[in-house]
Structure 1
Amino acid sequence: MPKAYVFTRYGGPEVEAFVDQGRPEPGPGQLLVAVRAAGVNPVDWKLRAGKRRPGAPPVVFPEVLGSEVSGVVEGVGAGVGGFAVGDAVFGNPDTGGYAEYTLLPASLTAHKPVDLTFAEAAALPVAAATAYDGVRQLDLPAGATLLITGVGGGVGVAAARLARHLGVFVVGTASAGKKEFVESLGVVHVPSGPDLVDRVRAAAPGGRVDAVFDLVGGEDLSAVASLLSDRRGKLITAAAKETVGELGGAAVARARTSEVLDAVARLAVDGVLRPEVTAVYPLERAGEALRAVEGGHARGKVVIEVGA
């Protein structure tokens, strides 16, 4: 019977487990996909810990972990056009990604380009698409300076690459151990820690930044917000959506469409947003993959390979 990696209640790693689950049937607007790879994201462990968005639907336990996948279509639900059995696709699943089979809404699914591996495609729907939406939201001109907090993770890497492609100067905060990696992206590295604002000012041209893309939240977000004289439209976060408004900023406005996934895939094929997949685990080691991300020190994207 197909396997899936789930959490059985809210809590820490101790609530995670493998379960056997039946092969699901696609409903209207859905695709049944045999999963080939699943991206691992901070949102996965945060959902397991009970950090759900206000108004989010209740969880029915056990819940399969994972919010982005790639795979091959094995069934097409009623009312779905543009997809057929055998198509290689990627997108955001309705029923979790750390599994051998999952259901994807056709509206959040795109065809996988032949020039991308399944592992690379699975790394796009959350991190790269969030970065794409955020950079478009900031709408900075060439020559502007963007500060990205937490630049060394999946979203940060994609945002930095896209911003640099658009001619934006990027300063990024990350741990000291990620300095060489961050600089390889064409980003000026600023180590995290006390006196962060002073170090950012020293690194930024003219001592100023034009926008902040926050991926850390907490004290770092509050600190770097002071770098902006006008935060409306230029202070965004993907990490502290419930509190950023108090600072005069906004959450990243996610488009969540297959058109965005298509655009991100094209940029990946062109080399602009090619995913930095730095660690690949088999499904049997899904817990280890999630620990790598939950520890906060993962560089680039962690991916779980599921099928052949």
Structure 2
Amino acid sequence: MQKAYVHSYFGGPEAEHFADLPIPAPGPGQLLLAVRAAGVNPVDWKRRSGRRPAGAPEVLLPAVMGGEAAGEVAALGPGVTGFAVGDAVLGGPSTGGYAQYTLLAADAAVRKPAEVSWTDAAVLPIAAATGYGAVRRLALPRGATLLITGVGGGVGVAAAQVAPHLGLSVVGSAAEGKRAAVEALGVVHVASGPGLAARVRAAAPAGIDGVLDLVGGQVLHEAAGLLADRERLVSGADRATVGALGGAPVGPVRDPRLLGAVVELVRTGVLDPMVTRVVPFARAAEAVRAVEGGHTLGKVVLEMPPPAGPPGVAAP
């Protein structure tokens, strides 16, 4: 058996608890991962509350929380080649990351270089890959100016570092309390809140060429009004509104090519995942509450205890 942090029904924080669950057996094309660290993201508590994207598979309860993890391969499913027990990998698990063991599709797994820590690796599959993919999708020319709303979170922090690497200038909105951290990334900070468009125009008098929205709602409406070309508008927070405004949601992040590129940026020092809080697994509720509060700067990570015991190894 293993320890996992689950939600047993859809609702608030009271739905969360630890559970003893069987260690899953890897099926064809799967890896069993002994989790060393798991990233904590807003989508984790949103799924717990019952939010589910259109077309997403039904969630079976109790459900292990967590959508990104890094760890060591503990067993191989039938037909898996190219990996060996003990390999260090990361990715988006199919059975939840808040557990001592989880399953990961082999074709979605990316190797973790020795230069990248477990805690850094664990926050790359969702936030960092989303930020990187969004900036690449906008395809702005060198010298252009990108506005990132909600720049202080995990996706925004990653995008704000990738953009200068591609020759872009960045203006970012965030709470006043995050100003110093945002400006340390080389971002021109503008305070969040009503009247955002006017403050952005003052900060970037030459205009905004692209927008990565991570807030949605009225903020997205204001940001869209700054653009001459709505094809340069993407949102990771409000799919319906961005479509109505002529933009597009950020693309899928479960792409090992994107994730592999992000890992390389971290390995070479171009991208700092900005892990600002590492929480022991035993205090998983504390980590989720920190992210659910919406004011966390950078990324929160769960650090896992040693594996529950040898699960056995399935032959390829």
Same fold (TM > 0.5): yes
What's the % identity of the aligned pairs?
60
Q: How far apart are the structure 2 equivalents of 1:69 and 1:53?
A: 21
Q: How far apart are the structure 2 equivalents of 1:58 and 1:226?
A: 37
Could you give the per-residue CA deviations for residues 66-100 of structure 1, whole angstroms, max 9, x where no partner exists?
00000000011122221110001100000000110
Q: How far apart are the structure 2 equivalents of 1:205 and 1:81?
A: 54
Q: How far apart are the structure 1 equivalents of 2:241 and 2:222?
A: 14
Which residue of structure 2 aligns with residue 147 of structure 1? 147
Q: How far apart are the structure 1 equivalents of 2:212 and 2:262?
A: 18
Which residue of structure 1 aligns with residue 109 of structure 2? 109
User: In the TM superposition, what is the alpha-carbon distance from 1:235 to its structure 2 partner?
Assistant: 0.3
Which residue of structure 1 aligns with residue 221 of structure 2? 222
Q: How far apart are the structure 1 equivalents of 2:152 and 2:205?
A: 21
Alignment map for 1:159-238 (pairs within 5 Å)? 159-206=159-206, 208-232=207-231, 234-238=232-236
Q: How far apart are the structure 2 equivalents of 1:281 and 1:34?
A: 18
- Check whether the contact 1:36–1:71 (CA below 8 A) recurs between aligned residues: yes
**Aligned letter for 1:227?**
L
Which residue of structure 2 aligns with residue 293 of structure 1? 291
- Give secondary structure in 2 for the equivalent of 1:140: coil
- Check whether the contact 1:38–1:69 (CA below 8 A) recurs between aligned residues: yes
User: In the TM superposition, what is the alpha-carbon distance from 1:255 to its structure 2 partner?
Assistant: 5.0
- Check whether the contact 1:34–1:307 (CA below 8 A) recurs between aligned residues: no
Q: How far apart are the structure 1 equivalents of 2:173 and 2:75?
A: 44
Which residue of structure 1 aligns with residue 67 of structure 2? 67
- Give secondary structure in 2 for the equivalent of 1:243: helix
Which residue of structure 2 aligns with residue 257 of structure 1? 255
- Is 1:52 aligned to residue 56 of structure 2? no
Which residue of structure 2 aligns with residue 3 of structure 1? 3
State the Cα RMSD in Å.
Answer: 1.0
Q: How far apart are the structure 2 equivalents of 1:124 and 1:150?
A: 18
Could you give the per-residue CA deviations for residues 130-169 of structure 1, whole angstroms, max 9, x where no partner exists?
1111111001111100000000010000000000111201
Q: How far apart are the structure 2 equivalents of 1:7 and 1:176?
A: 34
Q: How far apart are the structure 1 equivalents of 2:258 and 2:222?
A: 32
Structure 1 residues without counterparts, runs of 5 or longer: none
- Check whether the contact 1:225–1:247 (CA below 8 A) recurs between aligned residues: yes
The number of residue pairs the alignment matches comes to 306
Alignment map for 1:240-279 (pairs within 5 Å)? 240-254=238-252, 256-279=254-277
- Check whether the contact 1:107–1:257 (CA below 8 A) recurs between aligned residues: no
- Give secondary structure in 1 for the equivalent of 2:157: helix
- Check whether the contact 2:70–2:89 (CA below 8 A) recurs between aligned residues: yes
User: In the TM superposition, what is the alpha-carbon distance from 1:241 to its structure 2 partner?
Assistant: 1.7
